[in-house]
Amino acid sequence: MQVFLLEDEPRLGRAVEGALKAQGYGVRWAKGLEEARDAFLELEPDLMVLDVRLPEDPDGGFRFAQEVRQAGYKGPILFLTARDTLEDRVFGLDLGGDDYLVKPFHLEELLARVRALLRRGAEAKASRVRLGPLEVDLAGRAVRHRGRRVDLSLKEFALLEVFLLHPGRVFSPEELAEKVFGDVEKVGAVKVYIHYLRQKLHPQVIRTVPGGYRLGHEP
């Protein structure tokens, strides 16, 4: 799954980015409002983690959340902030936020909240997906093929999940690299992991089509 991070403080940003990537999430890290606005147009993140106070705007995270909600973003939003008054929390949640974590915080708590928000989102989208003989529990990260359990690595599952959540859509290698690895240049890694998925599941589970790849069906 792809997490969008807006955080201007380099040390905290690196720590959050590293912790999320270690759990298998793709991460797009924007360090300011303008960068966030540009990046949002290219992404469909599964969750947003937004610092509220930014150098160019003390309410920048709130403002960005309002903008993406108005643009139709329906995924969960988690605010990070040192502002912990009741008024701030109510304002952020009323604005469209789903959770609020006050700085300083432990990374373990941040990851637990991310898991909870993504689990809630996955349940809302229907946790279990079936595609022919392929059964996937998105919340439990469990995969079965023709009734047989298939163990996937974190990156293999993340790649498969992108396709399952957008059936029929064609993804370019660059889009997949951004979503799974948080790095648009890791096209080679995308090809390797698609090969792994085809080996573990079926050669046609992901088809090569004009423009990139899409979820396939076995003949």
The model's confidence at residue 125, banded by pLDDT at 50, 70 and 90, is: low
- Is the pTM higher than 0.75? The answer reads no
CB contact burial 40-77 (16+ within 10 A = b; e otherwise): beebebbbbbbbbbbeeeebbbbebbeebeeeebebbb
- The C-alpha atoms of residue 120 and residue 197 are separated, in whole angstroms, by 26
For the chain, list the strands marked E by DSSP.
Answer: 2-6, 26-30, 47-51, 77-81, 99-102, 128-131, 134-137, 142-145, 148-150, 206-209, 212-215
pLDDT at 6 over 90: yes
Contact 141/184 with Cβ under 8 angstroms? no
Looking at the chain, the whole-number percentage of residues with pLDDT higher than 90 is 42
Residue 192: predicted pLDDT: 95
The residue that leads in pLDDT, 43 or 154, is: 154
Cβ neighbours for 76, distance < 8 A, ≥ 6 positions apart: 47, 48, 98, 99, 117, 118, 120, 121
The residue that leads in pLDDT, 24 or 50, is: 50
Average pLDDT over residues 9-24: 92
Tens of pLDDT, residue by residue over 174-211, are: 999 988 887 888 999 999 999 999 999 989 889 999 99
Contact 48/65 with Cβ under 8 angstroms? yes
- How far is CA 189 from each of CA 171, 177, 186, 193, 211, rounded to the nearest angstrom? 15, 8, 5, 6, 18
